[in-house]
Chain A
Amino acid sequence: MPVPVMTVPGEQPASLSGAAVRAAGLRKTYGGGETAVHALAGVDVAFARGGFTAIMGPSGSGKSTLMHCLAGLDAATAGQVWLGDTELTSLRDDQLTGLRRQRIGFVFQAFNLLPVLPARDNIVLPMQLAGQRPDPAWFDDVVARLGLRERLGHRPHELSGGQQQRVAIARALLPRPDVVFADEPTGNLDSRSGAEVLGLLRSSVKETGQTVVMVTHDPSAAAYADRVVLLADGRLAGELTDPTAASVLDALRGLGA
């Protein structure tokens, strides 16, 4: 069981070379002058390898923006992001794109899959884009764990919401990325499918040492994580280790959410 890394806001986390992803002085500002909105107002955070971390906070706290910047989907206004030893903010678009398809996996809230492609093609898409062939044994293993063996030939609209999210998880896990980012992965699911999806993410962390970072606003979803990072008004606002739904709820109340 990996030990969650403790950070103190403002302190350089450069010494923490064991982190899968970390950010230093991350700022994201929309607009300028008096109307400027600071979605991220200087965030220093690190996520350990093999950990399952939830990012939580009230609406508008900047949790989605943080994830976008960490995943190289969005450019930060200031600050730095490292994926392992790679500094992301200095990369060109094509380098970032290549990095995303090989070292980062995504699970989004909705619209995860390309409607034209059957499940199998959706799963291997990032590796195909990178011009790689998936390891067949690993592919079979991932598909079996996610219970998708019978569904590989189906198109997304022939699958239930839970099945679609499982296909998205399979796609995220297949290239053995440095980190999987999940953005409200259960937001569109009923509670049973949601629990199933969270269990699968959790077991991928436990069984294969996959690093997972998940944005959520649901305390019971956050309870599946090893650690919860709380965000408010674009700043870190504390964190919890080994959270439960009740402790998360308490911490959120403390933020005034």
Chain B
Amino acid sequence: MRAVTLASIRAHLPRLIASALAIVIAVGFVVATLVLNQTSRATVLDAVGAPYVGVDAVVTSDDGSGLADELDRVAALDGVAAVDTTWETGVQALLPGRTGQQYLLAESVADAPALRWQSLADGELPDAPGEIAVSERTGATVGDRFPVTSFAPDGTERDSSVTVTGVVDLGGDPTAGIYGRLWGTAEQLRAWGAVDPVELRVAGVEGVPAGDVVQQVAAALADRQVAVRTGTEQAEEAAAQLTGDTMALTAVLLVFATVAVLVAGLVIANTFAVLLAQRTRELALLRCVGATARQVRRSVLGEAALTGLAASAVGVLAGIGLAAAVSAVAEAADSPVPLSGLSVPWIAVAAGLAVGTATTLLAALAPARAATKVAPLAALRPADPAPLRSRGGALRLVLGLLLLVPGVLLMGVGVALADVLVALPGGALSFLGVVLLAQRAVPPVVGAVGRLAARLGGVPGRLAAGNATRNPRRTAATATALLIGVTLTTAMVVGAASTRATAQAGLAAQYPTDVIVQGDGSVPASLPGRLAAVDGVVAASSLTAATVTGPDGQETGVSGLDAATAAPVLRSTGDVPIPAAGEVVLPWWADSSWGIPAGGPVTFTAGDRTATLTALYGDVERPTLPVAELARLAPEAAVDTVWLRLADDADHTDVIDEVTDVATAAMPFAFVTGLASERAAIDSVLDVLLLVVTGLLGVAVVIALIGVGNTLALSVVERRQENGLLRALGLTRGQLRGLLAWESALVAGVAAVLGVLLGSFYGLVGVASVLGSYGELVLSMPWLQVGAIVLVATVAGLLASVLPARRAARTPPVAAIAG
């Protein structure tokens, strides 16, 4: 039988390759996820753990007390060759090319070469005070000189000037892009005010194992509350703190990978079913000449196993290649994702091979069982055009409903309670139910739509509708694969759009102003105009300030707000209302300390002038009244704050940098708060997530479309005689191509529309249950994207019909008679 198995694989190779593509993609996805995860961990370990990797022992203070005093005690130990501690502080530096000062993290470099971990992109590490090395983020180069302002523990400022001797390459450190860093000698760092280092790094004498060094150091410091670890342990500890989030991401990725594998399984099962149905007579002939049912089954499963294994092997290679490409792109783009080089864990290879082969085998199991039930006599009968009957239909119906109904109820409860932990299992249950019921529900829907197509598409449309409904199981399996992909993609798109709308509304209420510029005292009169003129700033509003006497007789600072200019600046007045004439917005603390109810009168006095206003409450720092009222009450009130609104499409970071430069040039101690960048950051994270998730689920849709193309190709082969008859009776080649295009558009279109409806439902339920508890929920339907999904799936389905249709059109009419 082995000869039969191999010969049959050879004979059906093109068909098997087409279906194996689904497995290749799914396995590639799984492997790429695992490899990228491992690569990211290795990169983080390399980068974050760099100070510890080459070190024998690391001492960390448990109680936060300084360890500088222990340097000598540890250095005196037998097994210790060198010991170093990292002095650390923050400084403000005016970097070359910038007009405002920036925060930099400053650390000391070790004296002993064994403990110097920094890898240099250029120049050398500093050896004397006044010399420093910088990280690439600072933009400084070797030879640059710039002023540094440091702060002593008591707060006194000290200015100094430093020369750059080297540029440090931080590799894949994910924190490298957040702020600039600089390194100086320990002496320099102490001069800058660094105190109480809490970590010692110890290099052992050559030949002494790290474990022994750790023991010696631990024994010597037994009187201190310290943890002593090997360098490797410390590096892993440091990496683990950063990769906690990466692990969560991997879990999410693996969920998508599971979806891809499931869809691939459906496609494979479908392909094998048709492949074997085609070979019914061949298998029956084998039975006629003496093969037992078991031998036939083993041969079929052997074919599946070999196909699965080969496809998985290709998938593993494809996955590693994909991961390498992603890693290379991430590295080249200097993205904050920690990826550099490639680490392939053996488990990824094993898991890829196992998952792919097992999926193929499992998927082939049911078709193989059906195929081996063939009676030997079938070989002698002419091909039976009767449809394959769907078995276990009643069981499927009952099981589907048993899953669907409680699932939907659970989802309802989840939405009502705004508890995603209730809605999630409900969603999973009901979706399983939907998948089971789809086998029953899809063919009638295709039939109904087909009747419509029959009116529009003439005879080809009518024949296509008939073909699509004739083998309900095949149609349902094809449609189900596409349905799952489209449902998940739509759910994600709808969910993400609503999450984004909700988050944007929340962010706008939370950060109504994009940029706040506050002066140290009053703002020069020309500054608001110059800030408004910065490219990317679309509106500006100046706030005046004065000190008046509150209703409790205490002095209080108040702000004057110009409603006309403030309204276009504020993104939301939900939390920060604009006071109308005769009104004042009070901060929440006024409620308890002044005891004034909302809507009640509140009186401010300044000298002999008084103003009585109606109280509102809002998220303001100081009582805020219309600027005209404040000018009447306190004529000396001057501008001390400027609010700016930035253009939505501007690069907020760049604009804020420029605003900072303009403001600090006019007022050295201006304080610029760029809430816009925070909002933009959150917004762009949501955008990227949406894009990534959609892309990942797109993989499932692509696999499903391969299935559509496969099914169609197989049904063309299956219907060779029928197509030959049609051609003999006068169906032109164009009409035959039309027939197949209608057929695939029908199946793909119905699956896409059903998937979009289901996906929208799941997406909205998901958002309602996740975000329901976070206050105001904004539901948003991304009609454009949803429409695009339907269109893409249907058009792709149509495209999937092109190759099979070309092949079918070449069917000679004689094929009908030749049989």
Question: Which A residues are within 8 Å of any B CB, using their own CB?
Answer: 64, 68, 73-74, 93-94, 97-98, 100-102, 106, 108-112, 114-117, 125-126, 128-130, 156-157, 171, 183, 188
Contact = CB atoms under 8 A, between A and B. Distances in A.
B385 interface: yes
B816 A108 contact: yes
Nearest to A115: B385
Interface stretch (B61-69, B143-151, B534-542, B718-726): B718-726
B729 A126 contact: yes
Contact of B732 (A64, A97, A128): A97
Interface in B783-819: 812-814, 816-817, 819
Contacts of B817: 64, 68, 73, 108-109, 183
9 contacts: A74-B812, A98-B730, A108-B725, A110-B819, A111-B383, A111-B385, A115-B722, A116-B470, A129-B729
A100 B463 CA distance: 19
Nearest to A110: B382
A112 to B, nearest CB: 7
B816 A115 contact: no
B1 to A, nearest CB: 32
B190 interface: no
Nearest to A128: B459
Given A74-B814, A98-B730, A108-B725, 15 more contacts: A100-B730, A108-B817, A110-B382, A110-B819, A111-B382, A111-B383, A111-B385, A111-B721, A111-B816, A112-B725, A114-B722, A115-B470, A116-B467, A125-B459, A129-B459
A68 B728 CA distance: 10
A94 B733 contact: yes
Contacts of A125: 459, 729
B726 A73 contact: no
Given A74-B812, A108-B817, A130 B730 contact: yes
B728 A114 contact: no
Contact of A97 (B463, B466, B467, B730): B730
The 10 A-B pairs of least Cβ separation, nearest first, read A101-B730, A116-B466, A115-B385, A73-B813, A129-B730, A97-B732, A126-B729, A126-B730, A100-B730, A128-B459
B631 interface: no
Contacts of A110: 382, 819
A125 B383 CA distance: 23
Nearest to A129: B730
Interface in B460-478: 463, 466-467, 470
Nearest to A215: B817
Given A73-B817, A116-B463, A183-B817, A97 B385 contact: no
B735 interface: yes
Nearest to B813: A73
Nearest to B463: A116
Q: For chain B, what secondary structure do more than half of its interface residues adopt (helix, strand, loop), or is it mixed? A: helix
A112 B817 CA distance: 9
A114 B819 contact: no
A68 B463 contact: no
Nearest to A71: B728
A97 B819 contact: no
B645 interface: no
B386 interface: yes
B731 interface: yes
A115 B735 CA distance: 19
B727 interface: yes
A114 B819 CA distance: 14
A88 B726 CA distance: 19
Contacts of A98: 730, 732
A157 B386 contact: yes
A94 B727 CA distance: 10
Contacts of B725: 108, 111-112, 114
Contacts of A108: 725, 816-817
Nearest to B385: A115
A114 B731 CA distance: 13
Contacts of B731: 97, 101, 129
A110 B722 CA distance: 11
Nearest to A67: B817
B730 A102 contact: yes
A190 to B, nearest CB: 15
Interface in B718-770: 721-722, 725-735
A110 B817 CA distance: 7
Contacts of B382: 110-111, 188
B466 A117 contact: yes
Contacts of B722: 111, 114-115
A68 B730 contact: no
B141 to A, nearest CB: 73
A188 B385 CA distance: 16
A113 B124 CA distance: 87
B380 to A, nearest CB: 14
Of A116, A126, A188, which is in contact with the most chain B CB atoms at under 10 Å from its CB? A116
B395 to A, nearest CB: 26
Interface string B177-190: 00000000000000
A130 B728 CA distance: 13
A106 B729 contact: yes
Contacts of A102: 730
Interface string B57-80: 000000000000000000000000
Of A97, A106, A108, A128, which is in contact with the most chain B CB atoms at under 10 Å from its CB? A97
A128 B517 CA distance: 78
A93 B730 CA distance: 10
B463 A101 contact: no
A126 B728 CA distance: 9
Of B382, B728, B733, B734, which is in contact with the most chain A CB atoms at under 10 Å from its CB? B728
